[in-house]
Chain A
Amino acid sequence: MLLITCPNCGPRDETEFHYGGQAHVPYPEDPHALSDAEWSRYLFYRENPKGLFAERWVHNGGCRKWFNAIRDTVSYEFKTIYTGESPLEAGAKGDSQ
């Protein structure tokens, strides 16, 4: 059983959480302008990396809030838990958050 640290509720069993797929997939600015291929790419195509992966999680058995996590898909270890912008992207912009 994994212990996942909810940013609101602290460490809880993984069974209280649901997985929400890849994080930071932006909604297209103008969906009507997309071709069917581009739209399907937005809807269905996700990364499947071996190693660190930014993901969405929801604590549906607790506070019911969404948050992001960077998890190692090899070891299942949660490296970072955060809300909002990816710490990697934020770091690249020189933001200390």
Chain B
Amino acid sequence: MALKGSAVMAETISEETLSLAASLRRSPAARLAKAFAVAGTEGERGVRLREIPFLTQLGIRATPGTPAAAAVEAALGAPLPAIHGSTTTGGGYSVLWIGPDEFLAVGDEGSADLDRGPAETARVAATLGEAGSRLPGAVVDLSANRTTFELSGPAARLVLEKGVSFDLHPRSFRAGQAIVTVLDHVPVLVWKTEEETFRVLPRASFADHVGRWLLDAMREFSAPEVH
């Protein structure tokens, strides 16, 4: 019932209202934006940090290989990743493997402009069918659950390695891979989008702490290396 309500709401809200609402949003780490900009460094040991706020995120529960998974894949335009660490892309989404039957579809960077989460959730969830005959699966709007930090530069891996015990060396963690892990006791997703670019997705309530933790971990790279 609630799902149907939100689907109707999403259809009746005009783009204008959505963009007004979008202009009023404040991201979880908005207050750190200046600090992020100042902390960035260039060069051999350079590392930069920015927040990519408001990415559309859909939480997906479906067992791969079932009709529910096929329906979600068709609606998203991307297959569900098969194994731990893998991601897939398509239809304006990257789909991250969270668990054997749990996935997170993250919208491309342009998805942040409008508040697409509810409408997209309704669209993808509708392919699972009506209540009563719904395929066993779920699609939930998680756009406000996590914010996205992007750490890039030659020293990005060194910064993350201070708090992530998973082996981030390129031999075991390649571009296009994403894992669920813990960054200094905080549950996060770590997603390597390019060779020297990592996304860290903490929950919104941890955004301030993780942002400050990253700033602190980055600090040493603004000075010449001490031998």
Q: Which residues of A contact B (CB under 8 A)?
A: 1, 8-10, 12-13, 15-16, 61-65
Contacts and interface: CB of A to CB of B under 8 A. Distances in A.
A13 B102 contact: no
B91 interface: no
B165 A13 contact: yes
Q: B interface, by DSSP: helix, strand, loop or mixed? A: strand
B125 to A, nearest CB: 21
Interface in B106-162: none
B179 to A, nearest CB: 7
A12 B166 contact: yes
Interface of B: 84-85, 98-100, 102, 165-166, 179-182, 185, 187
A61 B39 CA distance: 29
Contact of A12 (B99, B102, B181, B185): B181
Nearest to B187: A61
A40 to B, nearest CB: 35
Contacts of A64: 98-99, 102
11 contacts: A8-B84, A9-B84, A9-B179, A10-B84, A15-B182, A15-B185, A16-B182, A61-B182, A63-B84, A63-B100, A65-B100
Among all A-B residue pairs, the 6 with the closest Cβ atoms: A63-B99, A13-B165, A61-B182, A62-B180, A9-B84, A16-B182
B203 to A, nearest CB: 13
A63 B97 CA distance: 9
Given A8-B84, A12-B166, A15-B182, A63 B98 contact: yes
Contacts of B185: 15
Nearest to B167: A11
Nearest to A1: B165
Contacts of A63: 84, 98-100, 102, 180
Nearest to A65: B99
Nearest to A62: B180
B186 to A, nearest CB: 10
A61 B164 CA distance: 12
A12 B165 CA distance: 8
Nearest to B97: A63
Contacts of A1: 165
A11 to B, nearest CB: 9
